[in-house]
Amino acid sequence: ADPLFNLRSEEYPEGLNLYDDPKMQSALLLPDLQVELAGRRPNFGDSAPDFAYKPMTDHPFSSVDYGYLERLYAMTSNPERKKEYGQALQYLADGDIDSKRAAEKSDWLLWHAAEPPPESPSLPGVLKSRVNGSWVAGMKGMAMLRAGDQAALLRFGPSLTHGDPDDLGLLYYANGYELSYDIGYGLGSTHVHCGWASSTVSHCLVTVDEKNQFEAEGSGGSLLAFADLPSVQMVEAESANSYTEEGVDEYRRTLALMSEGGYLVDVFHVRGGTQHDFGFGSIGTELEPYGVPDLKDQEGSLTEGVNWADKIGKDGDIIGYPNKPYWKPPPGNGYGFFFDVRSGSPEVDWGGTWSIDGKIPTQFRMHILGEADEAIYASAPGLYPSKPLSSYVMARRTAKVAPLESVFMAVYEPFVRYASGEVQPVIEKTRRLGPGAIEVIRKDGKTDVVLTEKCTVKTSFGNVKFEGDFALLTGEGDRPVRAESLGCNRLEVNGKSIFSGTGVLTAKVVEVDPVACRVRLDHPVEGDLENLIAIFSNPDYSRTTAYHIANVSGEVLELQANSLVLGEGRVQSIEGNTLISDVPHEYARSVPRKDSTLFFDGKRLAGPSGKATKILSTDQGDTLRIEVEDASDFEVGDSIEYVDLSVGDQVRIALPQVLRFPQEKTSKTPKKPNIVLITADNLGYGDVGCYGNDQVKTPTIDRLAEQGVRLTDFYTASPTCTVSRACLLTGRYPQRHGLNIQLPGIEGNYGEGLSQSETLLPELLKPLGYATGCFGKWNIGFAPGSRPTERGFDEFFGHASGNIDYYTHVYNLKPDLHRGTEPVEVEGYSTDLFADEAIDFIERHQDKPFFVYLPFNAPHFPNPKNKAPGEPYIWQAPEEAFAAYGWNESETNPKRGYYAVITAMDSAVGRVMGTLDDLGLTEDTVVIFYSDNGAFMLKDRGLEVASNRPFRDGGVTLYEGGIRVPCIVRWPGRIEAGSVCREPLISFDWFPMAVHLAGGEIPEDLVVDGQDPIKTLTEGVPSPHDSLFFEYRNFRAMREGRYKIVASDPDGGFALYDLETDSGEEIDLGKEEPKRLERMKDMFENWRAEMPH
């Protein structure tokens, strides 16, 4: 591409820019990161084994991707594409392109690099979902499922040369390891490679009749379903082509990756042959069986008379068989390489637990649910003696007469590692409900029912009847709370209809535009279909073909693709109705290299001037022989294209749904709940484990999310500490209560601050019988009459200012620790001291309702003014917080120090939660945890190492990074455990909610801007706010639904963003939607005119 770019000739006076070609752009655009799973590149096919510990990184990076992207950015002439590449380039460089370019040391960059892009670091549109979310590469036949540090890959496309016979192969990643240990690819001629690694049984598959796949022609299969739901990512595919020699007419696999439960469900249907071996292999030989009481040792391997594992030399060949490259030791199917074989009769629930002794040891369990005549456990070699061994669990079924029909069902459970280093299972019990139906009871008290096909089954929730592609029902005990489904036409629980309607859209293709990647259908399709999967089929095709939907307009589907052309060729000669092309296409050649994959069968072959015919078959040898329906229109020299879609194709679009079950209301008069309101100080959205950061250790906060609701669209009313707290305690916008500045210095913090005429939350709770206590950061004025115990709190222990030293408790060198209104001197880490006081208060008031306001000053950045001249100012945390990461307390790395401060706060929260547990108060206590504002992103302060990812900017701004913060609410029995709320809510909503929970009402003469969100949290109803407004310093902003306007200059205009597709606020839609922008600007101005301040 580079020489052609610089070419100057009579034919190409301006050169030939391949960097503007859509296929070239697609090939070079983050090819590594789009398929990276849990921090690893999938190692199917010609790849070395991947067995080392490798956790996900905080920021993914690939040198290959970076080099490609620099070229695309520099060379493309399309301004829109250039902007997208610039954004992605900034993302890869983590916002520092100059440093990244220096580190790459590339000669090409020295001479050709373009000016650094002005765009902020983020991934545009579709690219973001492909790097961070779950998606399907339909033409390639790969489905990538991602859920935090878990990921899975299902390959349903044809296995090509330099691959293995492993159609429908599974790769599963969790806890920093590839748990499905693929033996890998080394020197392709070794006996271990040919006889073991390149056998079907060495992969996580069902082996039929002890034969490898592809004994006859055919490879690869069809995508049947795919869904990216809030709590589960699922895919279903089939590949009966792989076993046509054995008469197999069904070979179908469904995977469901549980992002909430932390496990993987696997359902495998097979029909044909007389023996089915369903196996899974993982790293090492520390495999502990369970559920098979009569295990017996077996001599040799799984093939009588041979044991090749004992005879493997250092070079991967069998000792005693020299000079035999590419030899497959008999019987040639891999079964002779197993050793340490044990077998027995399994119980209904059986399986094995692997202990993986890597850099960070972990454990992993496979549950197999019934459907096995024999349980087999065995070890197997690695690719070479220097590579780790593996161990397998195998479920075997046999029949005397074909066709044998099996439905294998498994649950893969990575154990959880806590900050203490303790490793624990997440599943209490599994149960097979019927073919394709599984129940999982989790350790956190939740129950999941997974349905992978139409069924009627008896569950813990009662009798369930389902018609559709897939469903996940989640609840507690015998009470279902939520259902997530794909293609659901009908769902009943105990005879009560939960849903009945259309779960699938179907249509016929009447027009295809391969260049624009559009198809016209025979009737319009409606609904929010963007990014869903459209599956195309035709009786003439050997498999379905699938694309994500980019856009829908009436009867026109625009697909996410660079072209609908599968490949190109050139007619070298013609023999009857066979065209011979001298341009090979590897998708026509499978692993054995001798048979067709059937990949192109039934596809349309297009030539120049409208020539077209149907492909009947292909044969890839030195040339590609293409048998077509009618070759009469074609001539030698014609360029030809293989088009993926044709007129007459059927399209199927399965619709996702999330349904909440109606909850029974009780007439029992509820006890007034205790209220514990905890605020972190400047904690970023991207600095908590349950919000996507797998580097920081926040086990308590993560557990709160598992036990309650995690809010994804929660806002603090202001991007700075003072104002945010004033809004929380008054329930009002700052433009109504009048305090809209950060109190400055000692004078400001010890002044009146928030007007003493304002009514604070504890003043309304005390008359309702609540004990009220505040322990931590006040920061809204400490003059006489402004102090906590003068404004409704019975007790106060904390500091007046915004940022004290964690150990000396000084602010600008002034001691700033008070009990009530009096200064005190107490030794200790401030976070722990505030938690201790809150615990003591709870223990003393456990017999009456209480309101605890626990505003930590952590993890606020250290203040240099709190140190004497010459003293270093660094992040401070107790020794055990650093030790949780294996670091020393003297650590000076700012990011490590910051993480330790967060972990210390998490531990303090854990002690408060433990007190509620010990006193039996957990069920009667509402716990609210959130950050007072987003983390600060001020570049002139070296200790600013926090993250608001994926949002833009941070504290003191009104971009999402400044005001959209982590928030979790727990109320057992009332708020669904492990749920997620995506409705926009705001911090001053806690004011009316707390008053109502306490049995009170807002006084008629008090204007409150907060709206009680309790039904949004407990019943899933929409947000009580139609719109939210913000104003601070030069910034103005408003959110309405999915849209937001922001202005950063009082004299400048507003930008319009669609937060649903552009949470990073990068793409201003103002010019595209001027009416919406003007309407929202008018709404903001009308709101502002109503405010008194």
Rounded to whole angstroms, how far apart are CA atoms 459 and 894? 51
Q: Which pLDDT value is given to residue 575?
A: 97
Q: What is the mean pLDDT of residues 139-159?
A: 93
Task: Encode 475-493: b = buried (16+ Cβ within 10 Å), e = exposed.
Answer: bbeeebbbbbbbbbbebbb
Of 292, 403, 408, nearest to 353 by C-alpha is: 292
Quick one: fold of 135-414?
Beta-galactosidase; Chain A, domain 5 (2.70.98)
φ and ψ at 819, to 5 degrees?
-115, 120
CA pair distance 825, 822, nearest whole angstrom: 10
Structure tokens at 1032: 């601070």
Rounded Cα–Cα distance for residues 676 and 838 (Å): 9
- Is residue 675 within 8 Å of 932, Cβ to Cβ? no
Output the CA torsion 790→791→796→801 (10° steps): -100
How would you classify the pairing of strands 504-513 and 496-500? unpaired
pLDDT at 130: 93
pLDDT at 494: 93
Tell me the CB-side half-sphere exposure of residue 170, using CA atoms within 13 A.
33
Q: Residue range 494-512: average pLDDT?
A: 94
- pLDDT digits over 600-617, tens only? 999 999 999 999 999 999
Q: Find the Cα–Cα–Cα–Cα dihedral 143, 149, 150, 156, rounded to 10°.
A: 20
Answer for the pair 87, 121: CB distance below 8 angstroms, yes or no: yes
Using 50, 70 and 90 to split pLDDT, how confident is the model at 1090? very high
Query: In the chain, which segments carry CATH 3.30.1120.10?
Result: 1026-1093
Q: Does the structure show a pLDDT above 80 at 915?
A: yes
C-beta neighbour count of 465 within 10 angstroms = 17
Q: Please state, as a whole number, how many other Cβ atoms lie within 10 Å of the Cβ of residue 860.
A: 21
What's the pLDDT at 1084?
A: 94
Q: What is the CA radius of gyration of the chain?
A: 32
Does the pLDDT value for residue 261 go beyond 90? no
pLDDT digits (tens, 9 = 90+) for 24-76: 999 999 999 999 999 999 988 788 888 899 988 878 899 999 999 999 999 99
On the question of pLDDT at 477 being above 80, the answer is: yes
955 Cβ contact partners less than 8 Å away, ≥ 6 residues apart: 682, 719, 720, 933, 934, 935, 936, 937, 961, 962
Mean pLDDT across the chain? 93
Residues 263-276 have a mean pLDDT of 98
For CATH 2.40.30.20, the residue range(s) in the chain are 565-642
Lowest pLDDT segment from 329-343, 396-410, 434-448, 855-869: 855-869
Q: What local confidence, expressed as pLDDT, does residue 664 receive?
A: 57
Residue 685 token pair: 């959205």
pLDDT class of 648 with cuts at 50, 70, 90: very high
| Average confidence (pLDDT) over 992-1013 | 95
pLDDT score, position 669? 47
Report the side by side order of strands in the sheet with 462-467: 455-459, 462-467, 490-493, 496-500
CB atoms < 10 A from the CB of 348, how many?
A: 13
User: Three-class SS of residue 706?
Assistant: helix
Task: State mean pLDDT over 647-664.
Answer: 89
pLDDT of residue 667: 43
Count of C-beta atoms within a 10 Å radius of residue 907: 22
CATH class of 674-865+908-976+993-1021: alpha beta
Q: Where in the chain is the domain with CATH 3.40.720.10?
A: 674-865+908-976+993-1021
Q: Confirm if 136 and 535 have CB atoms less than 8 A apart.
A: no
DSSP summary character for residue 363: E
How many whole angstroms separate alpha carbon 701 and alpha carbon 505?
Answer: 41
Q: Looking at domain 1026-1093, which CATH architecture does it have? A: 2-Layer Sandwich (3.30)
Cα–Cα distance between 254 and 256 in angstroms, integer?
Answer: 7
CA dihedral 720, 723, 725, 729 (to 10 degrees): -160
Where is average pLDDT lowest: 294-298, 801-805, 867-871? Answer: 867-871
Structure tokens at 1022: 């929409």
pLDDT digits (tens, 9 = 90+) for 181-209: 999 989 999 999 999 999 999 999 999 99
- Report the alpha-carbon distance of residue 87 to residue 91 in Å, rounded: 6
Alpha-carbon span 29 to 19, nearest angstrom: 11
Positive or negative torsion for Cα 665, 666, 669, 672: negative
User: What per-residue confidence (pLDDT) applies to 56?
Assistant: 84
CA distances to 58, 612, 645 from 606, rounded to whole Å, are 47, 4, 11
Give kind and range of the element (H or E) at residue 842: helix 830-844
Q: Is 892 exposed, middle or buried (0-12, 13-18, 19+ CB in 10 A)?
A: exposed
Q: How confident is the model at residue 663 (pLDDT cuts 50, 70, 90)?
A: low
Residue 1084's H or E segment, with its range, is helix 1074-1090
Tell me the percentage of the chain whose pLDDT exceeds 90. 78
Q: Which residues contact 286 (CB under 8 A, 6 or more apart)?
A: 354, 355, 356, 357, 391
Element (H, E) at 290: strand 287-290
Residue 121, pLDDT > 80, answer no
Residue 754 has which token pair? Answer: 């928030």
Which CATH number is 565-642 given? 2.40.30.20
pLDDT of amino acid 420: 55
pLDDT number for residue 955: 86
3 state DSSP class of 804: coil
Whether residue 940 has pLDDT greater than 70: no
For CATH 2.70.98.70, list the domain ranges present in the chain.
Answer: 135-414
* CB distance 31 to 70 below 8 Å: no
pLDDT at 668: 44
Quick check: 1084 and 1040 in contact, CB under 8 A?
Answer: no
Position 670 scores a pLDDT of 55
pLDDT reported for residue 938: 66
**Residue 67 Cα to chain centre, angstroms:** 26
Residue whose C-alpha is closest to residue 534's, from 572, 500, 508, 563: 508
Q: What's the residue count for the chain?
A: 1093
